[in-house]
Every structure is written in structure tokens, then in C-alpha cells.
């Protein structure tokens, strides 16, 4: 969706952290992204490469850890894992699902020098 | 942890004049992990929470209107404002990439409106909306409509501090929009099916569209209406009044912060 503005936010957060911690260069950024967060990893990587230029995060590797969404099927009364929105319950094929999580977009940690 | 530079290592390292402020002794590993666990949209969410708190304090019902371009959002809004003008003070924040056209259309109804141009941005964010609320200064118990940028993708992720997201789907679009752009339907509390007056001329399958929307968001309330003919608009006004009543009731039930120990 708006990977460029997400990349800008990531670089902003890292720049703030660089002042607080402090550190001079970021080697690796580990992100936790929910499978329903509608983030396109390649677009995010591209955006990050562009906006991190001339910052402490320049040339850092983006590592994206996917977090699956959990759903509760009211028909089956079981917890299910949801891969995409609009997918039915894998047990009954229905859509009486309450979905929790899967929309996380977090910076988990940074490897820095 | 080193109390001078804040780094996590217990190994000896040097600071100050002999090199860059945090240069560590040669030969020692300089890499370290910094656990930050920060939400990428954290700052937006903090602004949204601030907006929400102040809107709740003044019982201002706030709706974030979402749709693709051309669904008739602005026409729906001008009709709504005109119909309610006598009884309900309202305010509008308009989001578009460019132009003041929509804000001008709203102002023609006599309702205060503020245009936010997002430029290259594809959605409104809570920070800009907060400034717009400052500028509009809506009165207590009014209604605030935020017409988001016409886009069924990005605005879903950006909380503005609204009470409800309302998605508008016009029947000149495909029935399968809820399946194609599920995030926005998953985030909505109401679906307005607009341009229903055109039904005799189109092949749009209303039941199918509603069924698709319910796959994404079971139980999502749906109102079929036409901003042009006025059909179904009363149900929309009723929904708004019920939602406002819920906010007022909630406000009275919540103890005032000053009397909480």
C-alpha cells in the first residue's frame, strides 16, 4: 500500500533511536509484519533503500519476520490460522470468523555499531 | 551497560577525544543488538488517541468516510449536511491529493469545511487531522465527518481517532470490491451501498455484494441508499443519531477523570 511512507517512519524511528542509544550505523533491521498488514516486502525494501540514503540506516539489511493472524470460527468453535482476509474457515468453509492480530507492523530490533 | 555511551557491552571501549564518540577498542566486536519493539505507525496511533480523547470529551461524533474515487462520497455528504442543517451542527474535513473542490462543495451547504491536500500521500493521518480539528474548532455535541482520500487500500491502516469508519460502495462498481480490497471492509462499522436508484439500469447483484462484505466482516450493517434520490437516507441519519446517543450515554457513564482516585 503506502510502503514508501512506512519506510519513512522506519527511518525516522531509527534516527531517533540513534540519538538516544546512541549508535552510528545500522547493519540490520528486524521487522515483524502481520500477514494481513497489506505490506508488500519488495516495495518496502525498495522504499527503505531510497529513504535511508545519507542516514545511519543506509545500506542496512531489512529482515521481515511474518506474523500470522489468528481467527476464531464461531461455527466450529475452534481457533484457526488465517492467511488472507476473505479466506474461509479451513474446517467448515464458512466465514463466521473473528480475526485477531495479523496487522502488526513493528520494528523488533536493530543490529548496530 | 556502559553508562557513558549507553551501549550494551561490558567489554572495554573508549569514548571521546581519541576517536568518534562511540568508537570501541580495535579488535573487539562492535556489533550489538538494540531491542526497540516499536510500532511503525506508533506516532500516528498516539496522535489518533489524542484526537479520540478530545472528541470523546466534547461528545463529537466522528466518522471516517472511506471509498474509492467516484463512489459519490461528497454528494452523499452534501445531501446529508443539507438535510440535517436545521437540527445538527456539523463540520467536515476533506482529504484529497490536490484541489479545494470538495471543501468548496461542502461550504456551499453552509457547513464549515477544511481541505487537507495530502500531496503525494495516499491517505490522511492523525497528525494532520489533529491540526485540522484545531482549526475547525468543532462545538460540543456536533458531528465531524472526515472524507478520506478516495482510496480503498491505504486509509484502512491509519487510525485518525474517529469513532467509526464508514465505507461507501456504489453499485456502479463491482460486487466483489469487498473481496478485492478486504482491509477497508474489515475495518468498517457500516457499509453504505450508494447510487441504489441506478439499480434498474445495472446488473449489480446487491445480495452478492452484501454476502461478500459479510465474508470479510460478519454482521457488518449495510444501508442501501441513494444520495441523489434520497432513498434510504433516513436509515443513515438514524444510524448516525444512534451512534451519537451511544457516545453521549457512554460519556455520562464514565466517571470524570478528576473524581477518579
Q: Spell B19-35 as b/e; 16+ CB within 10 A means b.
A: eeebbbeeeeebebebe
Residue pair A24/A61 in contact by the 8 Å Cβ criterion: no
Q: Does B38 touch chain A (CB under 8 A)?
A: yes
State how far residue A21 is from chain B, nearest Cα, in angstroms. Answer: 6
pLDDT reported for residue B255? 60
- Mean per-residue pLDDT for B91-109? 92
- The ipTM value here is 0.85
Q: Tell me the average pLDDT of chain B.
A: 88
Residue B36 binned pLDDT confidence (cut-offs 50, 70, 90):
confident
Paired strand residues for A100: A70
- The residue written with cell numbers 474457515 in the block is A89
Taking contacts as CB-CB distances below 8 angstroms, the residues of chain A near B22 are 22-24
Its sign, for the CA torsion B43, A98, B216, B74, is: negative
**Better-predicted residue by pLDDT, B20 or A6:** A6
Q: Closest Cα partner for B204 from B166, B249, B238, B174?
A: B174
- Mean per-residue pLDDT for B65-70? 94
Q: Does B122 touch chain A (CB under 8 A)?
A: yes
Residue pair B78/B49 in contact by the 8 Å Cβ criterion: no
Query: What percentage of chain B carries pLDDT values higher than 90?
Result: 75
User: Could you give the CA distance from residue B256 to residue B248 in angstroms, rounded to a whole number?
Assistant: 13
User: How many domains does chain A divide into?
Assistant: 1
Domain layout of chain B by residue ranges? 1-37, 42-253
Omega within 30 of 0 (cis) for the link into B245:
no
- The residue written with cell numbers 535511508 in the block is A52
State how far residue A35 is from chain B, nearest Cα, in angstroms. Answer: 12
C-alpha cell at B78: 452534501
pLDDT by residue (tens digit) across A29-43? 999 999 998 889 999
CA distances (Å), A35 to each of A38, A106, B42, B138, in order?
7, 13, 19, 38
pLDDT by residue (tens digit) across A49-89? 999 999 999 999 999 999 989 999 999 999 999 988 999 99
- Mean per-residue pLDDT for B70-90? 95
Q: What is the Cα gyration radius of chain A?
A: 17
pLDDT reported for residue B153? 85
Which one of B38, B47, B95 makes the best mutation probe of the A interface by having the most chain A beta carbons within 10 Å? Answer: B38
B154/A1 Cβ within 8 A:
yes
Q: Does B41 touch chain A (CB under 8 A)?
A: yes
Q: Closest Cα partner for A68 from A32, A40, A44?
A: A32
If one counts every other C-beta atom within 10 angstroms of the C-beta of residue B257, the result is: 8
Residue pair B172/B228 in contact by the 8 Å Cβ criterion: no
B5/A106 Cβ within 8 A:
no
pLDDT reported for residue B29? 61
Helix (H) or strand (E) holding A4: helix A3-20
pLDDT reported for residue B4? 53
- State the residue range of the domain holding A93: 3-112
B32/A111 Cβ within 8 A:
yes
B214/A21 Cβ within 8 A:
no
CATH number at residue A41: 3.30.2320.80
Q: Closest Cα partner for B157 from A3, A99, A90, A51?
A: A3
Q: Does A107 touch chain B (CB under 8 A)?
A: yes
CA distances (Å), B149 to each of A106, B15, B154, in order?
25, 50, 9
- Mean per-residue pLDDT for B237-248? 96
pLDDT reported for residue A54? 96
Give the predicted TM-score (pTM) of the model.
0.84
Taking contacts as CB-CB distances below 8 angstroms, the residues of chain B near A85 are 182-183, 186, 216
User: Could you give the CA distance from residue B50 to residue B46 in angstroms, rounded to a whole number?
Assistant: 6
Q: Closest Cα partner for B179 from B209, B201, B204, B203?
A: B209
Q: Does A76 touch chain B (CB under 8 A)?
A: no
- Find the residue in B nearest to A7 (Cα): B40
Query: What percentage of chain B carries pLDDT values higher than 70?
Result: 86
Of the listed ranges B29-33, B39-43, B45-49, B50-54, the one predicted with least confidence: B29-33
A112/B34 Cβ within 8 A:
yes
pLDDT by residue (tens digit) across B1-18? 455 555 554 444 444 433
Residue pair B174/B71 in contact by the 8 Å Cβ criterion: no
Which three-class secondary structure state does DSSP give residue B160?
coil
Determine how β-strand B32-39 pairs with β-strand A105-112: antiparallel
CATH class of domain segment(s) B42-253: alpha beta
> At how many degrees (to 10) do helices A41-51 and A3-20 cross?
50
Amino acid at each position: 500500500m503506502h510502503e514508501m511512507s512506512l519506510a519513512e517512519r522506519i527511518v525516522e524511528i531509527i534516527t531517533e533511536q540513534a540519538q538516544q542509544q546512541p549508535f552510528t550505523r545500522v547493519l540490520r533491521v528486524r521487522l515483524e509484519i502481520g500477514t494481513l498488514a497489506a505490506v508488500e516486502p519488495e516495495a518496502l525494501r525498495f522504499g527503505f533503500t531510497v529513504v535511508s540514503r545519507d542516514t545511519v540506516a543506509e545500506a542496512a539489511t531489512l529482515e521481515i519476520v511474518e506474523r500470522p493472524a489468528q481467527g476464531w470460527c464461531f461455527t466450529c468453535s475452534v481457533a484457526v490460522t488465517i492467511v488472507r482476509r476473505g479466506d474461509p474457515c479451513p474446517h467448515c468453509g464458512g466465514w463466521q470468523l473473528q480475526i485477531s492480530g495479523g496487522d502488526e507492523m513493528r520494528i523488533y530490533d536493530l543490529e548496530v555499531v | 551497560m556502559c553508562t557513558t555511551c549507553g551501549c550494551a557491552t561490558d567489554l572495554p571501549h573508549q569514548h571521546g577525544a581519541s576517536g568518534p564518540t562511540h568508537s570501541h577498542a580495535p579488535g573487539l566486536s562492535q556489533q550489538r543488538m538494540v531491542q526497540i519493539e516499536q510500532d511503525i505507525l506508533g506516532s500516528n496511533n498516539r496522535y489518533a488517541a489524542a484526537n479520540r480523547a478530545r472528541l470523546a470529551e466534547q461528545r463529537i461524533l466522528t466518522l471516517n468516510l472511506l471509498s474509492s474515487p467516484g463512489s459519490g462520497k461528497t454528494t452523499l455528504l452534501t445531501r446529508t449536511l443539507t438535510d440535517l442543517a436545521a437540527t445538527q451542527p456539523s463540520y467536515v474535513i476533506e482529504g484529497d491529493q490536490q484541489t479545494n473542490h470538495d471543501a468548496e462543495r461542502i461550504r456551499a451547504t453552509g457547513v464549515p469545511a477544511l481541505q487537507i491536500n495530502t500531496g503525494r500521500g495516499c491517505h490522511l493521518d492523525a497528525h494532520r487531522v489533529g491540526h485540522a480539528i484545531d482549526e475547525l474548532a468543532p462545538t460540543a455535541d456536533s458531528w465531524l465527518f472526515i472524507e478520506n482520500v478516495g482510496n480503498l487500500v491505504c486509509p484502512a491502516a491509519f487510525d485518525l481517532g474517529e469513532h467509526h469508519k464508514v465505507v461507501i460502495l456504489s453499485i456502479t462498481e463491482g460486487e466483489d470490491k469487498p473481496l478485492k480490497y478486504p482491509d477497508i471492509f474489515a475495518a468498517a462499522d457500516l457499509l453504505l451501498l450508494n447510487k441504489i436508484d441506478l439499480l434498474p439500469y445495472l446488473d449489480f447483484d446487491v445480495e452478492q455484494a452484501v454476502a461478500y462484505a459479510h465474508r470479510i466482516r460478519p454482521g457488518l450493517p449495510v444501508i442501501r441508499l441513494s444520495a441523489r434520490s434520497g432513498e434510504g437516507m433516513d436509515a443513515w441519519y438514524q444510524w448516525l443519531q444512534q451512534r451519537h446517543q451511544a457516545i453521549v450515554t457512554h460519556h455520562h457513564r464514565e466517571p470524570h477523570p478528576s473524581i477518579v482516585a
